Structure 1
Amino acid sequence: MSIAPPVEQTGAAVRRGPGRPRVEDLDDQILAGALGLIDEGESVTVRQLVHRSGVSRAAIYRRWPSMTTLVAAALDVGRTVPPDLPLDGDLREAVMGALIGGQSISVVGYSEERFRQRIRLAMADRELQKAYWASHVSRRRGPLERAIAAGIERGILRPELDPATCFDLLAGVVYYQLVVRGEEMSDPAVWQRCQDAFDIAWRGMLAEAD
């Protein structure tokens, strides 16, 4: 599958200023049309999208500055930003649950096939990969990074740690299973491998006892 060249510079989705109110139903039509083309392995072009969605070229151009950002938005349909983690209990259990048992693995309305399609398209197009990171993935990291930062502030975790780097370390083992090894998290052996790796990393992150 190929993605059409950008309509304009890649960036965040366009937010309308003063004027006519945005018709949210049109957003859904456009995204549904893009997803239909993606699922069928077709190129997502403005011409194809107008034909598939029934929405005008002008409506598409008003909502997304490029086809790349539109495809990124389509691939994220079904994903949400998770809520902040509870900080009044066991921090380790909260963080591990978010990574191994939470939205990073299984999402209602977001199939494994869609996840793999996202990986295929992003790896084939660095511009799409960066657009998807900037507009969607980076936002979903926030709750877990804030939980790690809280652990540092409370003296549970080492003071020199960088929350973003810790997230990469902890989430990396999960993505390795799914993307590199081709495993499924429903396999108990895979889940145990991720838990063991998490425990190794977490022990290294803990503040040294007095």
Structure 2
Amino acid sequence: MSAFPAPVRTTHRGPGRPRNDELDGQVLTAVLELIDEQEDVTAARIVQRSGVSRAALYRRWPALTTLIAAALDVGREVPPAIPTDGNLRGAIFSALFGATAEAGVTDYPEERFRQRIRLVMADRELQKAYWSSHVARRRIPIEAALRSGIEQGILRHDLDAEACFDLIAGVFYYQIVVRGDRLDDDRTRERCRAALDVAWLGMQPNN
């Protein structure tokens, strides 16, 4: 799924040619429709459904993996910076539970989330593309807040902020992927909160 077959080009694309947001939207919508319908995402199907030419498709996304990764991220945003000058634990927990509360909104329905898990687990190259181009960016605010907590002495000086984020995120993914529960269920959220309390206690300095 790495690259599209090279098309026969009849025109030369000039340097600095701007992207067409309307065409981008048509392509991404077509890919999402195929994903939501659990259809295989191929260049031919994207072209047929979007009405965008193969040449335009190749100019925008040289690899099918990067296109699918971009489509899977439609409706998701990089969270804002977390304030670190007050109750750091409360600020981080609020950010985490605020993000999970949005998991079931119309822009990113649960079924698409499950399709995303299925697709990336079936294709390591897609998984890596989605990670590097989208997922890694959304970790930045919480990782920055954790590093601030380490610098302030609120958290242990020997902590690895990336590892801590993995631990925290794993709490939520376990509920969805392993237990099959919903993050908008009160009991699920209570389990997550209890697990985060344990994790936070372990991240604090030993007094």
What's the TM-score, normalizing by structure 2? 0.90
Name the CA distance, whole Å, in 1 between partners of 2:23 and 2:147.
Answer: 39
Q: Does 1:42 align with 2:27?
A: no
CA contact (8 A) 2:2 2:125 kept: no
Residues 156 and 125 of structure 1: CA distance in aligned 2, closer, same or farther (over 3 Å): same
Q: 1:54 aligns with which of 42, 51, 55?
A: 51
Q: More deviation in 59-68 or 185-194?
A: 185-194
Name the CA distance, whole Å, in 1 between partners of 2:34 and 2:195.
Answer: 38
Name the CA distance, whole Å, in 2 between partners of 1:123 and 1:105.
Answer: 24
Measure how far apart 1:62 and its partner are.
Answer: 0.9
Q: Does 1:87 align with 2:68?
A: no
Identify the residue that residue 167 of structure 1 maps to in structure 2: 165
Identify the residue that residue 22 of structure 2 maps to in structure 1: 25
What's the TM-score, normalizing by structure 1? 0.89
Name the CA distance, whole Å, in 1 between partners of 2:116 and 2:18.
Answer: 31
Name the CA distance, whole Å, in 1 between partners of 2:88 and 2:170.
Answer: 19
Name the CA distance, whole Å, in 2 between partners of 1:111 and 1:17.
Answer: 39
Q: Does 1:102 align with 2:98?
A: yes
Name the CA distance, whole Å, in 1 between partners of 2:112 and 2:18.
Answer: 31
Q: What do you get for the CA RMSD once the two structures are aligned?
A: 1.7
Measure how far apart 1:6 and its partner are.
Answer: 2.6
Name the CA distance, whole Å, in 2 between partners of 1:174 and 1:20.
Answer: 42
Identify the residue that residue 12 of structure 1 maps to in structure 2: none
Name the CA distance, whole Å, in 2 between partners of 1:197 and 1:206.
Answer: 15
Share of identical aligned residues, percent? 61
Identify the residue that residue 10 of structure 2 maps to in structure 1: none
List runs of 5+ in structure 1 lacking aligned partners.
9-15
Name the CA distance, whole Å, in 1 between partners of 2:36 and 2:204.
Answer: 44
List runs of 5+ in structure 2 lacking aligned partners.
6-12
Name the CA distance, whole Å, in 2 between partners of 1:132 and 1:77.
Answer: 12
Measure how far apart 1:76 and its partner are.
Answer: 0.7
Identify the residue that residue 127 of structure 2 maps to in structure 1: 129
Aligned residues: 198
Name the CA distance, whole Å, in 2 between partners of 1:188 and 1:5.
Answer: 41
Identify the residue that residue 187 of structure 2 maps to in structure 1: 189
Partner secondary structure for residue 98 of structure 2: coil
Identify the residue that residue 140 of structure 1 maps to in structure 2: 138
The structure with the largest helix share of the pair is 2
Measure how far apart 1:187 and its partner are.
Answer: 2.1
Residues 41 and 152 of structure 1: CA distance in aligned 2, closer, same or farther (over 3 Å): same
Partner secondary structure for residue 138 of structure 1: helix
Partner secondary structure for residue 162 of structure 2: helix
2:131 partner amino acid: W
Q: Deviations over 1:114-155 (max 9, x none)?
A: 111100111111111111111110000000000000000111
Name the CA distance, whole Å, in 2 between partners of 1:169 and 1:124.
Answer: 23
